[in-house]
Amino acid sequence: MMLVAFETLGCRLNQAETASLAGAFEQLGFEVTDDVASADVLVVHSCAVTLAAEQQGRRLLRRARRLGRYRLVVFTGCAAEVASAEALTADGAGLIVPQSQKDQLPQIVAARLGLAPALLSGVPLPSFNKTRALVKVQDGCDFRCAYCIIPDTRGAPHSRAFDAIIAEARALTGQGFREIILAGVNVATYNDQERSLADLIRALAAIPALQRIRLGSIEPATTEREIVDLCVAESRLCHTLHYPLQSGDAGILRAMRRRYTPEIFAATLDYALARVPRIGLGTDIITGFPGEDDAAFAATRALIERYPISNLHVFPYSERPGTPATELPGSVPVHVRRERARALMALGQTKRAAFAATWRDQTVSMIVERVSPDGMARGWTGEYLELQLADAPAEAIGQLVSVRVSHVSDAQLAANWQDVTIISN
């Protein structure tokens, strides 16, 4: 049996694609292993959102070359579109598969190894080893933000067929998955034959065995208000809105080529909190973008402080070769970028703890993702807070449960299994 292992970097979309590739490898007769050191074939599924991410993928190639034990080392993903083939081959790639051919990667690998060609019987089901499944619904983006290379690595936006997504979700629930996460580069732009992301969510919510639907980021000035309305109408849609701000300064947003203003962002959060007062709010911030002075940073901080944001992702600006931002004036010293990032990260931790504290003595629900040997069950609420349940049985994994939160420590909710109500197995 030929063993194949993956090193997957980057976003949820990469993770979803890896799961689909793993399912296709298994259908072709390979065995997928998590033990990278024991594999015959290593697939490095790369990321290029930052130069550091690209370099990490290339370091994995060099490590594999030093080990010298693989029959084939494959490099694919976004970095395969921006790094030269000569450089990747020198790093140790035996096969480079571009994005345009990634769906056929298992067959390409089989042919390269001289294995008997095999035809996939139907559409392979993604292979997951967790209780939540990632489902790819969309790829590509044409928003062309000044700091982003992804439109060049993944191309124009294109949506997966509506019926194929529903069929995959039904098949995954047949395997026991009760929660799916919809993955894409710009999920908000989903459109298949005039059926939108909201239409897709409604159809998924009608699948009886599917208990939870979770979304990633929703780009501002797209479909965010409709998603908030769906949080009210569809109980299976998690009550979260991850809504990337990037900067709270209007001038910086223009330089970033973002499609909204701080006022539009704030109005949407006001709308979300009016419709779903306890919604989990998340956002992304880039500190030290070219031209960000103290006043611009202060505007960003003030906007974050204004709202109960509970999931704050902060990144110091990093030059990504090939993007327009690298040509902008007003470069911010790296140490200032990092200092500002640290300040916002600390603020984010404080705000997350404050949001979590509001859930004490409130009822929450989660799907149990794991149970440790000491009987501690763990999972995530619909508002994206971690919940721990003491004295849980091992067979609790995969169950949808509700419980009143008995205590909160920092940003972690806790209760006892004896107080749980099982909603579904």
pLDDT in tens, 72-83: 999 999 999 999
Residue 254 sits in a domain of what CATH number? 3.80.30.20
Sequential DSSP letters for 231-272: HHH-TTB-SEEE---B-S-HHHHHHHT-S--HHHHHHHHHHH
Residue 121 has pLDDT above 70, yes or no: no
What's the pLDDT band for 31 if we cut at 50, 70, 90? very high
| E strand segments, 357-406 | 363-367, 370-371, 377-380, 386-390, 400-404
Residues 380 and 345 in one domain: no
43: domain range? 3-112
Average pLDDT across the chain, whole number: 94
Residue 125 has pLDDT above 90, yes or no: no
Residues 71 and 174 in one domain: no
Which residue from 384, 413, 13 is spatially nearest to 212, judged by alpha carbons?
384
Q: pLDDT tens, 332-363?
A: 999 999 999 999 999 999 999 999 999 999 99
Q: Is residue 123 part of a domain?
A: no
* The 179-183 sheet, strands edge to edge: 132-136, 179-183, 212-215
Residue 91 sits in a domain of what CATH number? 3.40.50.12160
Q: How far apart are CA 307 and CA 314, in angstroms?
A: 16
Q: Is residue 122 part of a domain?
A: no
Q: The whole model's pTM is what? A: 0.92
Q: pLDDT tens, 357-374?
A: 999 999 999 999 999 999
Q: Is residue 120 part of a domain?
A: no
pLDDT of residue 74: 98
- Counting the structural domains of the chain, the total is 3
**Percent of the chain surpassing pLDDT 70:** 96
pLDDT of residue 410: 87
Q: Is residue 386 part of a domain?
A: yes
Residues 352 and 371 in one domain: no
Q: Are 299 and 345 in contact (CB under 8 A)?
A: no
Q: Is residue 314 part of a domain?
A: yes
pLDDT of residue 127: 61
Q: Is residue 416 part of a domain?
A: yes
Range with the poorest average pLDDT among 60-64, 260-264, 378-382, 421-425: 421-425
Residues 206 and 235 in one domain: yes
Which is more confident, 116 or 389? 389
